[in-house]
Structure 1
Amino acid sequence: MKTREEYLFEEAPVSRAVLSLVVPTVISQLITVIYNMADTFFIGQIGDPNQVAAVSLCMPMFIFLTGMANLFGIGGSSLMARSLGVGNVEKARKTAAFSIWTAAATAFVYGIILALSESVLLPVAGADAQTYEFCRKYLFWTIVVGAVPTVLNQTLAHLVRAEGHSAQASFGVALGGVLNIILDPIFIFPLGMEIAGAAVATMLSNVIATMYFIVFICFKGKGTDISFNPKNYSLARGIPKEVLLVGLPSCLMNLMGVLSNVVINKLMAEYANTALAGIGVAKKIDMMTFAISTGMSQGVLPLIAYNYSAGNYKRMKAAFKVDFVLSFVVAIITSVLLFTCAGPIVQAFINDPQTVEYGRLFQRIICITGPCIAVTMLSITMFQAVGKKLEPGILSLLRKGGLDIPFMFLLNHLAGVKGIVWATPIADLGAMIVALSLIIPFLGRLKTKEETIENLSEK
């Protein structure tokens, strides 16, 4: 008798299977965005643009943790799903153990490095005499202390989702987000910790979310192939290479996102701290579009990977097409909402008139290419799900770093502060065009394989 997860991957109507995997993932991604925005929102209520600017300056270094989680989580979940698709349970377990323990060790080392280099790193990132101490306090709790639980929380969510437990994975991620929203105002205001309180709240929420995943996996026992047992840790059978190369594009996008944010912060800081705070708020808000696109794509990854390895190309393509339409339509609606309501949304974060004016302008520029992000992200996920390395790497580099950074410098010279922000939608549009030029031929090759299999079965 097939398990619920096997039925979901193999036999359930495609639209139902896609929705059951995608909806919880999107919800958890949105809650994650809300909790990321919560720091900016509650700190903004203090009324100090320097503290809001400090959160913006620290964001690239915090995003780096998500890059680590994607490296091991997405790479591991893809290999796990493909291994389960061909019935190789042992390899799935070894993949999980490798992903978990390597992710934890890497996060720990990153936290130590950051603690030792903050006096050099923060000024390079754009911190000045007004923001340095705020940055230091925020980074200590969120990264130096909180790096391991932050990375493990997200990595375990990917691995749990690889087995078809999308709702449980999403609950764990959402749990951390909801807790952070609750704890933020408590630590910031009654306890008087201000920006340090927001950082402590973030760290604690990730610790509790990680504990949830550990309890869930242990409770499943033999019902899961996710293993914490160090004896299952293996560097053999090509597991490290496969996990790292497949997860690298998503990690690379985050790393280049870090570099991109550092560049935009440095360029904005040359104008005013209010401009820096404005772009920080605008980017936090625009994370909603990215979160929806990420949730729509990451949610369907196990379904695509499982059916690809099982040779069921027809079901795999159907899943991709259903998710593509859903992602594109939702991205259009979200972009329209963020564009038309830019002013009130920005003002909800901070009531400083100049910061609000910058934030409103920047938000309207950034959000116009939301549908482009949806197309690019789903294309990247499709290639990752089937174990491709080159194509997702190219798209990731184009979307972040390859196009936007050169355009930031060029348009800053030509159009000033507005030009810096226009680099983002230009990069998203360029990445989408390349994504379509890669994914359309790939789907055509799959159709040829599908027809060949059907012809052979008829004979």
Structure 2
Amino acid sequence: MNENKELFEEMPVYKAVVSLVVPTVISQLITVVYNMADTFFIGQIGDPDQVAAVSLCMPLFVLLTGMANLFGIGGSSLIARSLGEGDLEKAKKVSAFSIWTAGMVSLLYGILVFVLRGYLLPAIGANEATYDFCSRYIFWAVTVGAAPTVLNAALAHLVRAEGYSRQASFGMAMGGILNMILDPIFITLLGFEIAGAAIATMLSNMAATFYFITLIIRRRKSMALTISPRHYGLGNSIPSEVLLVGLPSCVMTLMGVLSNVTMNRLMVSYCNEAVAGIGIAKKVDMLAFAIATGMSQGVLPLIGYNYSAKKFGRMMSAVKITFIYSLVIAVIGMVFLLTCAGPIVRAFIDDPLTVEYGGRFQRIVCLPGPCISVTMIIITLFQSVGKKVEPLVLSLLRKGGFDIPVMFLMNAWIGVNGIAWATPIAEFASMLVAVLLFIPFWKGLKLELETVS
């Protein structure tokens, strides 16, 4: 059934890692670029309030990523392990559960956001100047676009679980490129402004979701994945396995939302330009996070498959190679963002105060890039082998556990810059905890490898 068995079992490890990771990183970067495109084209309007509104709405939109990770990463880990054990029927059931449940949950979320928007928008920091812009954005991007946004990302994870990294990355990239094409059309040409950005995002995610569904249908004879509802079920511990393994990534996203809401509410007490500045800086810094995420998510199926097949030597080689690649790229990315902060922010908006805030914040939040790469690979390693407690702990600490308290302390101590400094402090602390959890697990793997040998 799985035509990529050679990739998982026989291909030289460094080639297998590269073949899985490179397309995933590229698709992640394109996703970041098209998210930045919304801010860029809205910024060309020259209205800091609309740029601030996009930043304020991001937490509600990013929650969709959390749902996609819950079912996508949880499902892909279990599918990879099922394939490693040769259980194709279970892989089919996992895919059907993940796809249909993700669709239903996201649809419900979109409806709830629309109904409760009068309470939610003020809670995330919207004020008189930004409320109407926020309302327009979330209607199209979240209410109408919830299901396609979640399914697009979740399906990419599931397709990647069978080794179809290029196809998964093509679908994500296609959606991103389409978004960048539609943004200027809807924002500027048709004059929809911030609503146009949301419409472009929604339509591009719909197109990508359609691509993935078509791919699964056309390759149904060679793929374990299926969208057939007859394979949907709640037995064989599938729901608990998917949800508990995917939970850390979902929690990380949820805590990231809480962290961003806290940051925005602290920033808005200074001015909307500060909110716009940190919004731009955070979006640009997503380049580092995209690389770390792409490296870790790309190699997840390879680790999970070989762990279940008890090929521990091959699995450990994949982890080592990914660590090296990820760290080198993260350091290069950090240096680039550190040295080019001012021109990058100025490219988004030509408002002097916003550029001043954004450039300053950019130089601060880009510093922990290497720390993020280490933490993300360790979290993914635990997820790929079915661990539940360790990745959950790390996810809680990385976002919310460390950075929110530090935001309040640093804000009280040194003011607006202190809010931004909470990011590198929290990421460094999280990396230290991740390494402490990783060391005993790695030693245990070495013992198992010696036993098997």
The share of aligned pairs that are identical, in percent, is 65
Residue 442 (1) aligns with residue 441 (2): yes
1:26-425 aligned at under 5 Å gives the runs 26-425=25-424
Q: Report the Cα distance in structure 1 between the residues aligned to 2:323 and 2:438, rounded to whole angstroms.
A: 12
- State the Cα deviation string for residues 397-429 of structure 1 (Å, max 9, x = none): 111000000000111111100111110111100
Q: Report the Cα distance in structure 1 between the residues aligned to 2:451 and 2:322, rounded to whole angstroms.
A: 25
Q: Report the Cα distance in structure 2 between the residues aligned to 1:164 and 1:58, rounded to whole angstroms.
A: 34
Q: Report the Cα distance in structure 2 between the residues aligned to 1:387 and 1:63, rounded to whole angstroms.
A: 25
The residue type equivalent to 1:35 in the other structure is Y
Q: Structure 1: which 5+ runs fail to align? A: 455-459
Shift of 1:252: 0.3
Q: Report the Cα distance in structure 2 between the residues aligned to 1:120 and 1:390, rounded to whole angstroms.
A: 34
Q: Report the Cα distance in structure 2 between the residues aligned to 1:398 and 1:346, rounded to whole angstroms.
A: 29
Partner of 1:457: none
TM-score normalized by structure 2? 0.99
Shift of 1:318: 0.2
- State the Cα deviation string for residues 156-186 of structure 1 (Å, max 9, x = none): 0000000000000000000110000000000
The residue type equivalent to 1:401 in the other structure is G
CA RMSD of aligned residues (A): 0.7
Local SS of the residue matching 2:306: helix
Local SS of the residue matching 2:346: helix
- State the Cα deviation string for residues 192-238 of structure 1 (Å, max 9, x = none): 10001011000000000000001111110211111111111111100
The residue type equivalent to 2:412 in the other structure is H
The residue type equivalent to 1:148 in the other structure is A
Q: Report the Cα distance in structure 1 between the residues aligned to 2:27 and 2:174, rounded to whole angstroms.
A: 9
Local SS of the residue matching 2:303: helix
Shift of 1:3: 6.0
Which stretch shows the higher mean deviation, 260-269 or 434-443? Answer: 434-443
TM-score normalized by structure 1? 0.98
Q: Structure 2: which 5+ runs fail to align? A: none
Q: Is the 8 A contact 2:285 2:362 kept in 1?
A: yes
Q: Report the Cα distance in structure 2 between the residues aligned to 1:34 and 1:190, rounded to whole angstroms.
A: 21
The residue type equivalent to 2:271 in the other structure is A
Q: Report the Cα distance in structure 2 between the residues aligned to 1:142 and 1:347, rounded to whole angstroms.
A: 26
Q: Report the Cα distance in structure 2 between the residues aligned to 1:211 and 1:75, rounded to whole angstroms.
A: 22
Local SS of the residue matching 1:221: coil
Shift of 1:152: 0.2
Q: Report the Cα distance in structure 2 between the residues aligned to 1:412 and 1:402, rounded to whole angstroms.
A: 17
Q: Report the Cα distance in structure 2 between the residues aligned to 1:425 and 1:238, rounded to whole angstroms.
A: 39
- State the Cα deviation string for residues 368-388 of structure 1 (Å, max 9, x = none): 110000000000000000000
Shift of 1:105: 0.4
Q: Report the Cα distance in structure 1 between the residues aligned to 2:164 and 2:124, rounded to whole angstroms.
A: 39
Q: Report the Cα distance in structure 1 between the residues aligned to 2:239 and 2:214, rounded to whole angstroms.
A: 26
Local SS of the residue matching 1:368: coil
Q: Report the Cα distance in structure 1 between the residues aligned to 2:401 and 2:220, rounded to whole angstroms.
A: 44
- State the Cα deviation string for residues 276-303 of structure 1 (Å, max 9, x = none): 0000000000000000000000000000
Q: Report the Cα distance in structure 2 between the residues aligned to 1:179 and 1:352, rounded to whole angstroms.
A: 28
Q: Report the Cα distance in structure 2 between the residues aligned to 1:47 and 1:87, rounded to whole angstroms.
A: 57
- After TM superposition, where is structure 1 displaced by more than 4 Å over at least 4 residues in a row? none
Q: Is the 8 A contact 2:403 2:425 kept in 1?
A: yes
Q: Is the 8 A contact 2:2 2:222 kept in 1?
A: no
Which stretch shows the higher mean deviation, 337-346 or 433-442? Answer: 433-442
Q: Report the Cα distance in structure 1 between the residues aligned to 2:252 and 2:448, rounded to whole angstroms.
A: 31
The residue type equivalent to 2:55 in the other structure is S
The residue type equivalent to 1:98 in the other structure is F
The residue type equivalent to 1:359 in the other structure is G
The residue type equivalent to 1:107 in the other structure is S
Q: Report the Cα distance in structure 2 between the residues aligned to 1:125 and 1:9, rounded to whole angstroms.
A: 44
Q: Report the Cα distance in structure 2 between the residues aligned to 1:86 and 1:3, rounded to whole angstroms.
A: 12
Local SS of the residue matching 1:87: coil
- State the Cα deviation string for residues 244-274 of structure 1 (Å, max 9, x = none): 0000000000000000000000000000000
